[in-house]
């Protein structure tokens, strides 16, 4: 966006949506959190800083809110938080607009019209919670607790969400994980025995990114780390069918054919093993299965891979040799789901094996830092959970034996809700999630919702899922609430209210507790309020709530036993890095990373690529007026030559059709994409009129996505959706 094309009028013409007249400077003057004032965080002029945490994406940067005379005026990165180090990405900077969005839902809503009409009436919390509890109780009594599906996208209150569903007794737990990184997690679990090793760029000299578009899918500190590494002379190789902003920074951009990342990495393994470029000492000491890997990758020559990937064999060889030459200072980033195909699991396995071969464990790869509610913190007491006897609807583990319970297969869960196989679900409790937009095949999701007797949504907006719900419970925004403490490494951070919740909005901790109580599950929520919960968390640390609020964090005491934990002990069956996995082998899958042929489009169809932009977080931020102002218009990317063949010009309107749906969208004719691919930025095309800024802007790619699931990791495979494009 240049300085000459900023005009709200132009934007109105393009999108046809009405933009709220909110001017940034006219944000509602919200009263400061009373708690903040009482805790002495501000001076007598009601001016000061409050430390809390962002929630505009899962990176959860620490931030410092600046308050001037009782008004929150700015958010800045917290220099003490390792994920931000004083910086914030554009979404983090737009946080005030998120909290002050005029479309915020501020009272509980109960549906009065038909589902999808968007007709709700405001209700008190008592009435709403009573209704939800009675419906949930009714479903439990009539169909069993398994008939109630719970789904939420990972957040700091996840622990209490899981507490609710476990106490309720339902095994049916959906998260975004299978839509995102199942391939990577399961790949790492099978190889390293941990979900995701940490990456350290400070010594990195050669980095391979497989689709991890770090310059657009910004994770503040990691994007900064990569930039600094490259400043110090590190080389970066980037695989992507699209010329993204990361490609523009790469030393070598490889415009790889979609679905073939696996071939590339198998060829790297082949070259490194054949030319004996691997770290022999490390491999001998810390891995098992080398011989099997050697046999497996023997046929995967660079020439073979070149034919499949449509890259040059010489490039593949060069990358293999340069990567291995960097030795422990090389890093192959495991990404989230690389090419987003069913074979992405094998790619994750191959990447993990690649890292093991060069022996970078302890240098560029390290054991992961602590989770968000990790060791060293307390918890309120609670009785044990009832046993959930029913099978999970998402096929774990009976259809997907290797998918961890924690990850699940969300798209399978949705399918089961539609088909009623193995049994029919009747209710859906959704918290901080928009499955209507995030699950592949939006039409199918809406059909599945049609089968539910009762749907309740917890969110700060009337998102596309809440639009179809029966009850909407307004959560307070992240600037308005407490959440359970967040642990990063040895440091524990607090999220605390900067302003009073607007309207009647309440925190998730409050909602789950009060709902739980009405469900007769009060014993599982043994805290008075949010502050009491936090105090119980803090108890073992000896730090008071007031102290951590003032500082924003506390450092946990180092472990008392004198010795360092052995980072070369891996949580696998063998205790070592498993280049060959008995677990995989025993389950009937390939023991080593192995080739799986991906499907390919024919008859003039295109691969439908998806990706990220720095200005948005998946499906959640398109209503934010500041991000909307600075975004690129969401159009379908298509290569110049492909566009010519279809007689298309820039900005023409086209119909895009997949096996399950079709959309209309304007094209962006560009050189920056392979001729056999088209690309849409996900998250647009909202259908909830509760998004006055976002409604109708762009189109939704979930309408087009066909549901494919990798049988090993349960990850979805979005780019296996192929589409036709026609001018209108």
Partner 1 sequence: MSTQATPGKYGFLIDVTHCIDCRACNVACSVENNVSMDSTRIWMNGTGVVGEFPELSSSTAPFHCMHCNDPSCVSACTVGALTRDHDGIVQYDDDRCIGCRYCIYACPFQVPNMDLDEKMPLIVKCDMCGDRLQEGEQPACAATCPPGAIQFGRREDMLAKAHQLITDHPDKFIQHVYGEHENGGTSTFYVSPVPFEELGFPMTSSTSSAYLNRLVTHGTPAVFGAAAISLSGIYLTIKNVKEESAEEARIAAQTAVVQAAEGAAAETAAIEAEESTSEEA
Partner 2 sequence: MRKKIIKELQDMPKFVYVLAVLVVFGAIVGLYRLYAGLGATTNLSKAYPWGIWISFDLSTVALSGGAFTLAALVYVFHMHNLHAAVRPTVLAGLLGYTSVLIILFMDLGRWDRAYHFLIYPNVNSALFEVSWCIALYSSILVYELSPVLLANTRWKGIIPVLEKYTIPMVIAGVSLSTLHQSSLGTLFIVMSERLHPLWQSMLLPVFFLISSLASGLALIIAGASISRWVFKRSLPQNLIAKLGWFLPWVLGVYLVLKLGELEVMGELHLLLNSGRYSVLFMLEIIVGMVIPIIMFSSKRVRHDRTASMIGAFFVMFGVVLNRFDASWFAIQPIPGVEPYSPHWMEVAILIGVASGVFLAYTLIGRYFPLFDETMVVESKRKETAVNPQLTASEIGVAE
- Point out which residues bind partner 1 (CB under 8 A): 1-4, 6-9, 19, 22-25, 73-77, 86-90, 92-94, 96-97, 215-216, 218, 220-221, 223-224, 227-228, 231, 243, 245-249, 253, 255, 614-615, 625-627, 629-630, 639-640, 670-675
| Contact status: 21 vs partner 2 (CB under 8 A) | no
Nearer of residues 213 and 339 to partner 1, judged by Cβ = 213
Q: Which of the listed partners (partner 2, partner 1, none) does 639 bind, with a CB threshold of 5 to 8 Å by partner kind?
A: partner 1
Nearer of residues 14 and 228 to partner 2, judged by Cβ = 14
The answer to whether 54 touches 78, Cβ cutoff 8 Å, is no
Nearer of residues 35 and 89 to partner 1, judged by Cβ = 89
Quick one: DSSP state of residue 15? H
Q: Which of the listed partners (partner 2, partner 1, none) does 288 bind, with a CB threshold of 5 to 8 Å by partner kind?
A: none
The one segment of 1-9, 94-102, 324-332, 578-586 that binds partner 2 by CB under 8 A: 1-9
Judged on CB neighbours under 10 Å (0-12, 13-18, 19+), 709 is buried
In angstroms, what CA-CA distances link 362 with 223, 225, 232, 484?
21, 17, 20, 31
The answer to whether 72 touches 66, Cβ cutoff 8 Å, is yes
| Contact status: 13 vs partner 2 (CB under 8 A) | no
The one segment of 3-11, 224-232, 398-406, 698-706 that binds partner 2 by CB under 8 A: 3-11
| Least gap, CB of 199 to partner 1 (angstroms) | 16
| Contact status: 4 vs partner 2 (CB under 8 A) | yes
Helix, strand or coil for residue 529?
Answer: coil
Helix, strand or coil for residue 384?
Answer: coil
| Least gap, CB of 4 to partner 2 (angstroms) | 5
Total residues contacting partner 2 by CB under 8 A comes to 7
Nearer of residues 2 and 603 to partner 2, judged by Cβ = 2
Nearer of residues 311 and 377 to partner 1, judged by Cβ = 311
CA 317 distance to own-chain centroid: 33
The answer to whether 221 touches 228, Cβ cutoff 8 Å, is no
To 10 degrees, what angle do helices 261-274 and 313-326 make?
60
| Least gap, CB of 310 to partner 1 (angstroms) | 10
Q: Which of the listed partners (partner 2, partner 1, none) does 76 bind, with a CB threshold of 5 to 8 Å by partner kind?
A: partner 1
The one segment of 5-13, 98-106, 129-137, 655-663 that binds partner 2 by CB under 8 A: 5-13
Q: Nearest Cα to 460, choosing from 512, 515, 508? A: 508
Q: Other C-beta atoms within 10 Å of 727: how many? A: 13
Q: Which of the listed partners (partner 1, partner 2, none) does 158 bind, with a CB threshold of 5 to 8 Å by partner kind?
A: none
Q: Nearest Cα to 243, choosing from 611, 608, 653, 618? A: 611
Q: 679 — alpha (psi -120 to 50), left (phi > 0) or beta?
A: beta
| Least gap, CB of 616 to partner 2 (angstroms) | 24
Nearer of residues 650 and 659 to partner 2, judged by Cβ = 650
| Contact status: 23 vs partner 2 (CB under 8 A) | no
Nearer of residues 355 and 681 to partner 1, judged by Cβ = 681
Q: Which of the listed partners (partner 1, partner 2, none) does 675 bind, with a CB threshold of 5 to 8 Å by partner kind?
A: partner 1
| Contact status: 3 vs partner 2 (CB under 8 A) | yes
Q: Which of 1, 2, 323, 479 binds partner 2 (CB under 8 A)?
A: 2
| Least gap, CB of 43 to partner 1 (angstroms) | 13
Q: Which of the listed partners (partner 2, partner 1, none) does 702 bind, with a CB threshold of 5 to 8 Å by partner kind?
A: none
Cβ neighbours of residue 658 closer than 8 Å, sequence gap 6 or more: 608, 704, 705, 706, 721, 722, 723
- What values do phi and psi take at 643, rounded to 5? -65, -40
Rounded distance between C-alpha atoms, residue 350 and residue 594, angstroms: 8
- What values do phi and psi take at 666, rounded to 5? -85, 150
| Least gap, CB of 463 to partner 2 (angstroms) | 33
| Least gap, CB of 213 to partner 1 (angstroms) | 10
| Least gap, CB of 93 to partner 2 (angstroms) | 24
The answer to whether 197 touches 367, Cβ cutoff 8 Å, is yes
| Least gap, CB of 244 to partner 1 (angstroms) | 9
Q: Nearest Cα to 76, choosing from 87, 85, 67? A: 87
Rounded distance between C-alpha atoms, residue 545 and residue 535, angstroms: 6
Q: Which of the listed partners (partner 1, partner 2, none) does 142 bind, with a CB threshold of 5 to 8 Å by partner kind?
A: none
How do strand 120-122 and strand 109-111 relate by DSSP bridges? antiparallel
């Amino acid at each position: 966006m240049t300085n000459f094309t900023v005009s709200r009028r132009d934007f109105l013409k393009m999108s046809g949506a009405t933009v709220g007249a909110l001017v940034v400077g006219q944000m509602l003057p919200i009263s400061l959190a009373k708690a903040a004032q009482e805790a002495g965080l501000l001076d007598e002029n009601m001016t000061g800083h409050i430390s809390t945490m962002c929630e505009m994406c899962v990176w959860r940067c620490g931030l410092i809110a600046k308050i001037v005379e009782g008004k929150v005026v700015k958010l800045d990165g917290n220099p003490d938080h390792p994920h931000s180090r004083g910086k914030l990405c554009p979404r983090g900077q737009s946080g005030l607009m998120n909290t002050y969005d005029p479309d915020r839902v501020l009272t509980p809503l109960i549906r009065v019209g038909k589902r999808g009409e968007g007709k709700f009436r405001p209700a008190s919390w008592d009435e709403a919670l009573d209704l939800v509890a009675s419906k949930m109780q009714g479903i439990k009594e009539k169909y069993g607790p398994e008939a109630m599906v719970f789904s939420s996208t990972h957040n700091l209150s996840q622990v209490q969400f899981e507490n609710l569903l476990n106490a309720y007794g339902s095994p049916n737990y959906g998260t975004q994980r299978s839509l995102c990184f199942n391939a990577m997690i399961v790949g790492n679990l099978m190889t390293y025995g941990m979900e995701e090793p940490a990456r350290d760029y400070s010594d990195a000299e050669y980095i391979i990114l497989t689709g991890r578009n770090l310059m657009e899918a910004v994770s503040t500190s990691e994007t900064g780390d990569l930039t600094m590494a490259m400043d110090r002379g590190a080389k970066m190789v980037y695989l992507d069918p699209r010329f993204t902003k990361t490609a523009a920074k790469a030393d070598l951009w490889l415009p790889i054919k979609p679905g073939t990342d696996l071939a590339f990495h198998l060829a790297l393994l082949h070259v490194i093993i054949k030319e004996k470029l691997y770290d022999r000492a490390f491999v001998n000491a810390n891995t098992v299965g080398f011989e099997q890997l050697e046999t497996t990758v023997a046929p995967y020559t660079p020439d073979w891979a070149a034919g499949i990937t449509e890259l040059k064999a010489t490039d593949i060889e060069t990358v293999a040799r340069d990567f291995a030459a960097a030795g422990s200072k090389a890093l192959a980033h495991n990404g989230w789901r690389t090419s987003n195909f069913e074979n992405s699991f094998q790619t994750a396995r191959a990447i993990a094996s690649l890292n093991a071969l060069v022996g970078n464990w302890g240098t560029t790869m390290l054991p992961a830092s602590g989770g968000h509610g990790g060791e060293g913190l307390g918890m309120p007491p609670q009785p044990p959970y009832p046993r959930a006897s029913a099978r999970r609807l998402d096929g774990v583990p009976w259809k997907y034996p290797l998918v961890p319970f924690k990850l699940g297969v969300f798209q399978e869960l949705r399918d089961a809700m539609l088909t009623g196989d193995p049994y029919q679900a009747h209710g859906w409790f959704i918290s901080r999630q928009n499955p209507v937009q995030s699950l592949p095949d939006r039409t199918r999701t809406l059909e599945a919702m049609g089968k539910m007797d009762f749907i309740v949504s917890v969110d700060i907006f009337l998102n596309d899922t809440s639009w179809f719900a029966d009850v909407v419970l307004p959560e307070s925004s992240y600037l308005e609430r407490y959440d359970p403490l967040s642990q990063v490494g040895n440091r524990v951070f607090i999220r605390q209210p900067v302003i009073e919740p607007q309207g009647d909005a309440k925190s998730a901790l409050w909602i789950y507790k009060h709902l739980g109580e009405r469900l007769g599950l009060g014993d599982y929520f043994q805290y008075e309020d949010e502050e009491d919960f936090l105090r119980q968390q803090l108890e073992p640390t000896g730090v008071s709530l007031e102290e951590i609020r003032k500082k924003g964090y506390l450092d946990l005491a180092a472990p008392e036993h004198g010795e360092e934990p052995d980072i070369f002990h891996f949580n696998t069956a063998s205790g070592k890095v498993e280049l060959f996995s008995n677990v995989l082998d025993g389950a009937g899958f390939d023991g080593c990373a192995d080739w799986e042929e991906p499907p390919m489009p024919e008859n003039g169809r295109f691969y439908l690529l998806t990706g990220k932009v720095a200005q948005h977080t998946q499906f959640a931020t398109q209503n934010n007026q500041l991000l909307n102002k600075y975004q690129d218009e969401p159009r379908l990317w298509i290569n110049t030559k492909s566009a010519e063949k279809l007689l298309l010009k820039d900005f023409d309107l086209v119909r895009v059709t997949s096996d399950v749906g079709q959309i209309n969208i304007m094209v962006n004719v560009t050189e920056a994409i392979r001729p056999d691919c088209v690309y849409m930025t996900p998250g647009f095309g909202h259908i909830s009129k509760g998004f006055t800024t976002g409604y109708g802007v762009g189109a939704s790619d979930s309408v087009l996505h066909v549901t494919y699931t990798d049988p090993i990791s349960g990850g979805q495979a979005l780019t296996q959706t192929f589409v036709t494009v026609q001018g209108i």
